[in-house]
Structures are given as structure tokens and as C-alpha cells.
Amino acid sequence: MKTKLSVNINKVALIRNGRGGNLPDLIRFAQDCEDFGADGITVHPRPDERHVRYDDLPRLKDVVKTELNVEGYPSKRFMKEVLAVKPDQCTLVPDPPGVLTSDSGWDIKKEGVFLKEIIATLRDHGIRSSLFVDPDVDQVKAAAEVNADRIELYTGDFAKTYFTDREAAVRDHVASSIEAQRLGMKVNAGHDLNLDNLAFYSSSLSGLSEVSIGHALISDALYYGISNVIGMYKALL
């Protein structure tokens, strides 16, 4: 199975918002990413809407032909917007308001009752669920218990230790991926994956369904251009 590349376009929206206009055009950029080979588009609207805004979601839904993945903490407003748009996938992350970036997974054992209800609501509306988790087999088991369709493994710590000992860095990810698939869930991954570490990571996890990459990919596009960069990342997969 070939791992899909979902391009997170939050940083494009951040540049747009810096001038208050529509340059760059986020919707056109999403379409171009698909034309250049992206297998999906990811966005993460935060409460302060400092990059992707909630009013971007229906416009993206109208044009994205591959898969639209909306990430976020399942607040009342977030859930209202997601259920109205009905993206292909909703990735639930445990971010409190004001956090800079998603840097840890859910404590599913603690939040299980809450998450199970959210996941059931998403499923009732035909939306695939994915839970952002640390590479921990116990958390993976808990994700299955709340009926998540997928998990997304947080790869930030892997990226930090990749150059020190990449085999050790990926070990828990491999175990978590195996356990998730044994329990009937598919496996996504994301956070700080880049041109240096992506090939090793994706080749280490058999059955990796999708990676979501934004910050590194958009940064690389400043040097190589977005059409080239999407091809470079897909080649590593």
C-alpha cells in the first residue's frame, strides 16, 4: 500500500492573513496542490483563526477533489463547523486554546467518555475519525475502545531524536502501528516529518495510510517551489 500525502496549508493561510487580503489565494493553492500530486488537503482552524479560518472550510469542501482532513480540538464551535462541512476526515487533537502547535497526543484513558461521544457523532454524519496519539500501545488500545477509525501518530519526538538514534526513535511507532492495525484501525502520522526523515519513517511502518505535512513542506517550497516539493515528498513515500 502506498502512503498518501496530505498537505497541510495552514502556513499559506498565515501568510495570507498577515496582509488582510487574499494573497496567496488559499483555495487556489489547495487546488494546485492536488494538481501537483497531493493526495489530500489538511487544515487546522484554531480558536483565534490566526491562519485557516472557519469560513475557509466550506470553500475548501467545494473544491477539494481528493480528501479534506480538518484537524482541531472538538469544542462546540469546532464540531458545529465540521458537521456543517462534512470533511472526509476529522482528526481530533487535544490542543488547549492558544497553543502554538500540536505537541502531544490525547490521554484517551482520561478523556475516553468525551471522545467516544464525539467519534460517534462524527460517524453518524459520515465523517471518518482519527485520534492524535503518542506512540504508546496502551493509548492505541484505548483509541480502539472509543471506536476511532484511525490514529495519527505524533512524530515530533521521533524527528527530534532521528539523527541521534533513528532505530530507537521509530521503535514505539512501529509497535503502535502494528497494534492499531491488529485492532482494525488505520494509521496516519504527522508533525515535523520532512525531507530528511520521511523515507525512513514511512518505510519503517508497514501499512502507513497517510502522512500530514505542512510546516516543513511549505518551508521547502520557498526554495524549490510547491510543484517540485510535492513531487519530492511523494517520491520519499
| Catalytic residue numbers, as ranges | 44, 71, 191
Q: For the chain, what is the largest distance between any 2 Cα atoms, rounded to a whole number of angstroms?
A: 48
The residue among 24, 42, 36 whose CA lies nearest residue 227 is: 36
The residue among 46, 52, 44, 40 whose CA lies nearest residue 13 is: 52
Cβ-in-10-Å burial (0-12, 13-18, 19+) of 175 comes to middle
The strand pair at 40-43 and 4-8 is best described as parallel
Cell of 59: 470553500
**SS3 (DSSP) at 128:** strand
Q: At what angle do helices 215-224 and 226-236 cross, to 10 degrees?
A: 130
